[in-house]
Structure 1
Amino acid sequence: MTHQLSDLTAEGLRSFVAGQLERSRARTVQLTDAVDTDDLVRQHSRLMSPLVWDYAHIGNQEELWLVRDVGGREPVRQDIDELYDAFMHARADRPSLPLLGPAETRSYVVEVRDKVLDVLDHVKFDGGRELVDNGFAFGMIVQHEQQHDETMLATHQLRTGVPVLDAPAPPAGRRLATAEVFVPGGVFEMGTSVEPWALDNERPAHAVRVAPYVIDTAPVSNGDYLKFVLGGGYEDERWWSAVGWAHVQKASLVAPRFWEVADGNWMRTRFGRREPLPLDEPVMHVCFYEAEAYAKWAGKRLPTEQEWEFAARFDPATGRTRRFPWGDETPGPQHANLGQRHLGPAPVGAYPAGASPLGVEQLIGDVWEWTSSDFTPYPGFRAFPYDEYSLVFFGPDYKILRGGSFGTDEVVARSTFRNWDYPIRRQIFAGFRCARDPRPEERV
């Protein structure tokens, strides 16, 4: 619905924003109430913050932007700003900080939210401030909370102990008619200049020419990836880039994270439950280098970011760039696996209603998809409303992921949304699909 925010009355926009704030907070509470005090303050991995840090950080960002900046109100807890500044302290160091305890954190975020709702009741959306135009600042904070909720979900995956999360199983998969499709290429509008809550690195919309290519109709499955593992892929330097091979050796990688062999059977651990490896699900918890190596082994490559978005948004029948693969409609449960509705990827072929006009499926939700592209700004990029969201991360150190995962909320999972991470990261809910250059006979 966010693309239609400009059509709402001020009261309609207030109601929509309030609903999004409530929805994101309910998820945060669910993820933090699911564990006891010890688990809230414990660091479950040096790659992740303690859950209690994420919780208070969510409140602190909400206070900084909505209470102080948008609302012009007095600070609630100015003394903790530095503790919850993500750029001041590395994740590995956060447990040693004098953080708010669980009870104090809960009290703090409630107090902040009460003030935010009062700000929302009085803000003038037509006051000429870009920050509040179409409720942007509120949308930015809603997305920030949902992004941290996905981070906290990844922390839950890393914690040990009895399972504490549950959700219904995703819909059944189906066999796809074809494993890959030819994309004729062409010029399309990449990015956006019209989505009211799109973040700065998604802007502005710009014309991009894409050469013809072939792309997989579904993400690579566990079953397909297992063939690479069993075929000695992790022992064969031919499939790896020099830096990827060095990482495999240093990190002693032999399979995706959370995979193991028990009594001769391949198993995976998912939120505290060890279960047989589901061969029909998209592979997950692989780093960029693993995705790149598999693609080479399969005689393919990873798609570029431009190829990924072209496959997700371009309608060759009309020459139009859609909001989503299925059209302009906001994602529903029939389209994609989003929002922690299920606690894992759905089997391949589970969402035929989410297919693009080209016949490419599961581009949105299930697993983030590694692309071959570095994180760089679009032509005409302007940092807004602060440099630290995107600008400081541009460069070759980060690779782009697209599409969202089962843990990504619909308010984030735009076809234009750009995620980025270090190419060695495996704790995120990341998989991939392959692409390749077309053979001469396929270009006809």
Structure 2
Amino acid sequence: MSVACDATPTLDSQTNMLVKYQQVRQYSEHLISPLSAEDCALQGADFVSPVKWHLAHTTWFFETFVLLEHVEGYQAFHPQYQHLFNSYYNGIGEQFARPKRHLLSRPSLQDVLAYRHHVDEQIIHFLQSDQTQHQALIELGLNHEQQHQELILMDLKYNFFQNPLYPIYGLPKIDAPAPLIAHSGFENFAGGLFEIGTSARSFCFDNETPSHQTFLKPFQLSRSLISNQEYLEFVNAGGYEQAMLWLSDGWAWLQTTQICHPLYWVKQGDDWYEYSLQGLKPLNKNQAVQHISFYEAHAFAQWKGCRLPTEAEWEVAAQQSLFGPHQTSLAHMFDHNWQWTQSAYQPYPGFKAPEGAVGEYNGKFMCNQMVLRGGCDLTPAHHSRITYRNFFYPQDRWPKTGIRLAKDINE
């Protein structure tokens, strides 16, 4: 999660913002259209949340930071919702314990949807009243909701996977990975001084700022993501049993968890299968390996005699792939899977967290997490960009994460 950097909307953007608000909010409800109330209440582990909670929390965001702050006389829809659906904003007040969100059978899904519709009605009226000075806050709320739309699907997938029936989600194009475009080998990138990050006045999250210069030595980036076939070779070669491939923390994590293959791989007899929201199907070896922890990605890179890219290398390569001399050379930079980097999630030089509660959930998480770049096939359309910095803990596997390799070029 991140906070928006400054953006100055104009009166001409009022209608566009209203349309975007309606589209984003409606898409969240489209995602739950195949689900039952029981589906929306599942929480398979403390690091995921029920779908119902996501629907309420994203609504809480608009009620808390827009309506309660900027609409005179507005009264909260329900006095306890400020507590129940606050994620981790200490400046707002205490939060209901995350591991216990599955216990919230009340409010019902119907009640949560009524909450959404009430807040939507108020926000639409707010936007129609020429509140252009607050459109940056609305834009932040919409991007926040798009992040949760991706989390809804990733959390639902983990929750469904706990069921030996391997439930099938009802929207057929969701979580249905396509085979990789076969771009073999590595692309060379020259070293030098490059500018990364952004100071643009269009929307961005605050952790993407400020733009700054960084020096890179010449490097290579693999033209494609690592496939299931390539990762299966690592599994079959005993990659999970070779301590020298693993970081110390990763090896300790491996001994504790006894993990020996990617999340959602299921072996039945001699055959491998993979679970997606479309059910359990034979492992497609031509698809990108996914749901890989940073520890696994790092070990695989070591096994291949490579490394993971830094986030600066990834960003420079993406710039040159889209706008420079390396156009179209790198496949799947923004689809299939988020790509682990070897960069710790830290503030850029000159970064300052915004004041107030909305500034809480970014800067305070810049510790013990790793940066991922790009996007995945669950990321809402037009949500990703070159400077986008995602971040997760190195042991996390439930996000849709994959591997792109890097190498040094000896000058």
Identify whether the pair has TM-score above 0.5, normalized to the shorter chain. Answer: yes
1:98, distance to aligned residue in structure 2 (A): 6.8
Aligned to 2:341: 371
Find the aligned partners of 1:99 and 1:185 in 2 and give their Cα distance: 57
- Rounded to whole Å, the distance in 2 between the matches of 1:358 and 1:164 is 33
SS at match of 1:401: strand
> For the structure 1 residues 37 and 267, does the alpha-carbon distance in structure 2 shift closer, same or farther, using more than 3 Å as the test?
same
Report the equivalent of 1:430. 401
Q: What residue is the counterpart of 2:364 in the other structure?
A: 392
The within-5 A match list for 1:27-426 is: 27-77=27-77, 78-87=79-88, 88-97=95-104, 99-125=106-132, 127=133, 132=134, 135-158=135-158, 159=160, 160=163, 161=165, 162-168=167-173, 173-176=180-183, 178-271=184-277, 273-313=279-319, 315=320, 325-327=321-323, 357=327, 359-384=329-354, 386-395=358-367, 397-426=368-397
Distance 1:228 1:187, change over 3 A: same
Shift of 1:76: 2.8
CA separation of 1:185 and 1:46: change in aligned 2, threshold 3 A: same
Give the 3-state SS of the residue equivalent to 1:269 in structure 2.
Answer: strand
Bigger relative CO (Cα 8 Å, ≥ 6 apart): 2
- Paired with 1:65 and 1:186, the residues of 2 have a C-alpha distance of 43
What is the alpha-carbon distance in structure 1 between the residues aligned to residue 369 and residue 10 of structure 2? 40
Give 1:261 shift: 1.6
Indicate how the Cα distance of structure 1 residues 123 and 400 shifts in structure 2: closer, same or farther if over 3 A, else same.
Answer: same
1:281 is displaced (CA, Å) by 1.4
| Partner secondary structure for residue 29 of structure 1 | helix
Contact kept, 8 Å, 1:365 with 1:413, in 2: the verdict is no
Where 1:388 maps in the other structure, the secondary structure is helix
Identity among equivalent positions (%) equals: 28
1:39 Cα deviation from its structure 2 partner: 1.7
Q: Does the Cα contact within 8 Å between 1:303 and 1:372 map onto a contact in 2?
A: yes
Q: Which moved more, 1:383-392 or 1:139-148?
A: 383-392
1:79 corresponds to which letter in structure 2?
Q
CA distance in 1 between counterparts of 2:31 and 2:231 reads 31
One-letter amino acid of the structure 1 residue matched with residue 38 of structure 2: D
1:97: Cα distance to partner? Answer: 4.5
Distance 2:332 2:73 in 1: 44
Counterpart residue identity of residue 360, structure 2: E
Give the gaps of 5 or more residues in structure 2. 89-94
For 1:81-119, what per-residue CA distance to the aligned partner results, in whole angstroms no more than 9, with x for missing partners?
111111224431222357421111010110000100111
Please identify, of 42-51 and 290-299, the stretch whose mean Cα deviation from structure 2 is larger: 42-51
Distance 1:51 1:33 in 2: 12
Quick one: which amino acid aligns to residue 36 of structure 2?
D
Quote the RMSD (CA, aligned, Å).
Answer: 2.3
Aligned to 1:23: 23
Mapped to 1, the partners of 2:73 and 2:31 lie a distance apart of: 29
Q: Measure, in 2, the Cα distance between the counterparts of 1:246 and 1:272.
A: 33
The whole-number CA distance in structure 2 between the counterparts of 1:256 and 1:73 is: 52
SS at match of 1:410: coil
Deviation at 1:15, TM superposition (A): 2.1
Deviations 1:377-404 (A, max 9, x none): 1111121363322111012x11111111
